[in-house]
Structures are given as C-alpha cells and as structure tokens.
Amino acid sequence: MKNWFIISGITFAVFLTEALIHYNYGINESSNQSISLSNFKIPKGDRFIVMAGIVMVASTISSSLITYTENKLS
C-alpha cells in the first residue's frame, strides 16, 4: 500500500504539471501569444479544483493499474 501512495503522489504531480502546461498552451494559442514563464497562469477557484480532481482520478486509476500489474507479474 505504501508503494501505491508513492506512485499516486508522483503521478499526480506529473499529471498536474502536464495539465497546467496544456491549459496555458490553450490560453496562449487562442490569443496568439507564445508560451513563456512570464505569461504562465494557474486557473483560479473552481477551474483549478476541477482540474486537480480530474488529475486525481487519473492518478488513482494509473496507480491502481500499476499496482495490479506488479502484483500479477510477481
């Protein structure tokens, strides 16, 4: 179970980072701006909560599948 939490935490951090990059890519593309740290934005309020929730669900599914596969292979 300890491994599951480690895998979930790392997966959540990586997936959330990717989600924020995609979010900023979409915002910047729609306004014809280049992507840079100076115009990087984190969504506020409910938008961020929804994004983090989606990422949490994906991380949980990913971690569960990894743990299941490891158990079946060992």
Write out the chain's pLDDT in tens, 74 residues: 788 899 999 999 999 999 999 999 999 888 888 888 888 999 999 999 999 999 999 999 999 999 999 999 98
The pLDDT, as a whole number, for residue 54 is 96
Angstrom distance (rounded) from CA 54 to CA 45: 15
pTM of the full predicted structure? Answer: 0.81
What is the model's pLDDT at position 22? 94
Number of Cβ atoms within 10 Å of the Cβ of 35: 13
pLDDT at 35: 81
DSSP H or E stretch at residue 24: helix 2-30
